[in-house]
C-alpha cells in the first residue's frame, strides 16, 4: 500500500501514538486533554498526504530541499504553523516541538513498514514523506521562534513600563532628601540614590527602546524646529559633569537649525560619547563636531585609541554587542550593550544614516541627518 493511502486508512492509530507521546512532554502537557494533545495533528498529516499525492519534478524536489517548500493555499497559516503557535502559548519548548515531529516520523514509518511486510516499502514514498515532515518542522520552528520572541519582547516592554512608577518615586524621594540639606551623610546618601536611580532609568529607557524596535514600532520621535547646537551643548555639559576627568570638546560650524527630536538626539550623542569614553584613550579628548550644508547636518564623535577590529566594526550597530572593556567608566553609566544600536535606530527614525570607521589613529562615528523631512511622523 502506498504511504498516502496508509496514512488516511490508519489515521486514528497514528493519532493515538502522537497523543501518547505528546502526553510525555512535561510539564506543559501535564493538564492537557486529548483534543489539545492532538492539536492540528490530523491537519498536518492530511497536508503530508496531499504532498505525497502531488506530482513533483526533480527541480521541485531540489527547491524543497533548499527550503523552497510550497506556500499556503487559501490560508494565512499552515497547520504546522498554527500548531507551533499553540504549543508555544501552552508552554512547550522548541526541543519538545521538534520531538513531536521526530516521534511522528518514526511511528508512521514503523507502522507502514509493518503493514507492507513482507513486501518492501516504496522508497520514493519514504523520501517524499521525509521531505514533507521536514517542511512541517521548518514551518513550525519558524513560527514558534517568532511567537517566543514576541512574547519575550512584550514581557520586557511591560516590565520596563511597570518599573518606571516605583523608580520615579525613589528618585523623587532622593531629590527631596538632598534638598533637606540635613547633614553631609544624608546628602551623600541622597546623591548616591539619585545616581543609582538615574542609572536604572537609563537602562529602562534602553530596554523600552529596544523592545519598540523589536516589535516593529521603531524609535518614537517628536520632531520640532530646534537649534541643534544648543541641544548638543546642553548634553555635552551634562556629560562633562558625569565624566569630570575626561575632556569633551564641542565644535559647531554652519547653520545648526533644523527639524529634529532634540531629546532623542541628545540620547544619540550621549550613547556615542559614552562609547568613545569607554573604549578610547583616556589622555586624549573626545571631539564632537557639528557641520552641515543646505539640506543636511553631520554629527561626528571621534576619539583616539586602539582600532576597532574589522569583525567587530562590521556588527557594531547590532543589539547586545559589546567590545572588550578597555577603560573604567563612571558608575552612573548603565550599559546593556544597546547604546550604539539605539543610536542607529534614532538616526533611522530621522531618516538619517550612521556610519563607523576606525584605524590606528582614530575611531569616528558619523551621523548624517536631513534638516527637515516631512515623512518623519511626530509621535511615531
pLDDT digit string, tens, across residues 167-213: 777 777 777 777 776 677 777 777 777 766 766 776 777 777 776 67
Which pLDDT value is given to residue 60? 73
Which pLDDT value is given to residue 341? 87
Distance CA 234, CA 231 (A): 5
Tell me which residue has cell 555635552: 236
Which pLDDT value is given to residue 147? 79
Residue 85 contacts residue 143 (beta carbons within 8 Å): yes
Tell me which residue has cell 539605539: 342
Distance CA 86, CA 254 (A): 58
Run of H or E residues at 13:
helix 11-22
Which pLDDT value is given to residue 145? 85
pLDDT at 89 over 60: yes
118 preceded by a cis bond (ω within 30 of 0)? yes
Distance CA 98, CA 109 (A): 17
Q: How many CA atoms lie within 13 A of 147 on its CB side?
A: 20
**DSSP string covering 153-200, please?**
HHHHHHHHHHHHHHHHHHHHHHHHHHHHT--HHHHHHHHHHHHHHHHH
More confident call, 345 vs 73: 345
Question: CA-based diameter of the chain, in Å?
Answer: 94
**What does pLDDT average to over the chain?**
83
Nearest to 338 by CA among 224, 202, 157: 202
Task: Please give the distance of CA 364 from its chain centroid, rounded to a whole number.
Answer: 26
Q: pLDDT tier at 379 (50, 70, 90 boundaries)? A: very low
Distance CA 347, CA 365 (A): 12
Here the cell at position 148 is 517566543
More confident call, 211 vs 350: 350
Which pLDDT value is given to residue 76? 58
Residue 188 contacts residue 194 (beta carbons within 8 Å): no
Question: What is the mean predicted confidence (pLDDT) over 136-142?
Answer: 90
pLDDT at 66 over 90: no
- Cβ-based neighbours of 372, under 8 Å, separated by 6 or more: 258, 259
Residue 13 contacts residue 111 (beta carbons within 8 Å): yes
Q: Which residues pair with residue 292 across a beta bridge?
A: 297
Which pLDDT value is given to residue 74? 42
Which pLDDT value is given to residue 329? 46
> Which range has highest mean pLDDT (63-77, 79-93, 170-184, 341-355)?
341-355
Q: Please give the share of the chain, as a percent, with pLDDT higher than 90.
A: 41
Q: Please give the share of the chain, as a percent, with pLDDT higher than 70.
A: 81
pLDDT digit string, tens, across residues 258-304: 999 999 999 899 999 999 998 899 899 999 999 999 999 999 999 99
Q: pLDDT tier at 67 (50, 70, 90 boundaries)? A: low
Sign of CA dihedral 266, 267, 269, 273: positive
Question: Residue 371 CB: number of other CB atoms within 10 A?
Answer: 18
Which pLDDT value is given to residue 247? 94
pLDDT digit string, tens, across residues 234-248: 999 988 888 889 999
Q: pLDDT tier at 380 (50, 70, 90 boundaries)? A: very low
Q: pLDDT tier at 214 (50, 70, 90 boundaries)? A: low
Question: Residue 17 CB: number of other CB atoms within 10 A?
Answer: 17
Which pLDDT value is given to residue 373? 60
**DSSP string covering 299-351, please?**
EEEEE-SSPPPHHHHTTTTSTT------S---TT----S-HHHHHHHHHHHTT
Residue 259 contacts residue 231 (beta carbons within 8 Å): no
pLDDT at 39 over 70: yes
Residue 4 contacts residue 112 (beta carbons within 8 Å): no
**DSSP string covering 260-294, please?**
E-HHHHHHHHHHHHHHHHHHS-TTS-EEEEEEE-S
Which pLDDT value is given to residue 157? 62
More confident call, 376 vs 312: 312
Amino acid at each position: 500500500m502506498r504511504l498516502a493511502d496508509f496514512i488516511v486508512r490508519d489515521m486514528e492509530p497514528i493519532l493515538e501514538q502522537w497523543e501518547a507521546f505528546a502526553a510525555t512532554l512535561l510539564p506543559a502537557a501535564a493538564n492537557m486533554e486529548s483534543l489539545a494533545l492532538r492539536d492540528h495533528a490530523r491537519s498536518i498529516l492530511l497536508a503530508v498526504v496531499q504532498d505525497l499525492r502531488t506530482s513533483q519534478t526533480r527541480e521541485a524536489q531540489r527547491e524543497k530541499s533548499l527550503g523552497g517548500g510550497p506556500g499556503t493555499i487559501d490560508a494565512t497559516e499552515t497547520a504546522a504553523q498554527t500548531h507551533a503557535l499553540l504549543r508555544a502559548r501552552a508552554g512547550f519548548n522548541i526541543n519538545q516541538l521538534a520531538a513531536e515531529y521526530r516521534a511522528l516520523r518514526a511511528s508512521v514509518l514503523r507502522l507502514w513498514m509493518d503493514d507492507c511486510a513482507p513486501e518492501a516499502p516504496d522508497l520514493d514514498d519514504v523520501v517524499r514523506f521525509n521531505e514533507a515532515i521536514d517542511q512541517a518542522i521548518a514551518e513550525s520552528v519558524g513560527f514558534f521562534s517568532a511567537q517566543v520572541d514576541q512574547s519575550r519582547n512584550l514581557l520586557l516592554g511591560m516590565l520596563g513600563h511597570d518599573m518606571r512608577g516605583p523608580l520615579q518615586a525613589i528618585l523623587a524621594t532622593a531629590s527631596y532628601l538632598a534638598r533637606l540639606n540635613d547633614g553631609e551623610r544624608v546628602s551623600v546618601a541622597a546623591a548616591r540614590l539619585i545616581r543609582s536611580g538615574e542609572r536604572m532609568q537609563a537602562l529602562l529607557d534602553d530596554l523600552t527602546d529596544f523592545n519598540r524596535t523589536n516589535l516593529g514600532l521603531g524609535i518614537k520621535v517628536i520632531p520640532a524646529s530646534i537649534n541643534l547646537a544648543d541641544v548638543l551643548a546642553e548634553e555635552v555639559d551634562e556629560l562633562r559633569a558625569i565624566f569630570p576627568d575626561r575632556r569633551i570638546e564641542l565644535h559647531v560650524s554652519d547653520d545648526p537649525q533644523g527639524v529634529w527630536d532634540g531629546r532623542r538626539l541628545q540620547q544619540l550623542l550621549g550613547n556615542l560619547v559614552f562609547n568613545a569614553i569607554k573604549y578610547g584613550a583616556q589622555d586624549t579628548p573626545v571631539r564632537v563636531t557639528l557641520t552641515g550644508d543646505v539640506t543636511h547636518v553631520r554629527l561626528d564623535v571621534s576619539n583616539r585609541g586602539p582600532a576597532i577590529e574589522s569583525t567587530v566594526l562590521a556588527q557594531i550597530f547590532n543589539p547586545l554587542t559589546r567590545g572588550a572593556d578597555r577603560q573604567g567608566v563612571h558608575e552612573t553609566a548603565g550599559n546593556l550593550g544597546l547604546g550604539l544600536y539605539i543610536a542607529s535606530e534614532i538616526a533611522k527614525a530621522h531618516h538619517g544614516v550612521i556610519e563607523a570607521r576606525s584605524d590606528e589613529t582614530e575611531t569616528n562615528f558619523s551621523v548624517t541627518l536631513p534638516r527637515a523631512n516631512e515623512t518623519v511622523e511626530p509621535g511615531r
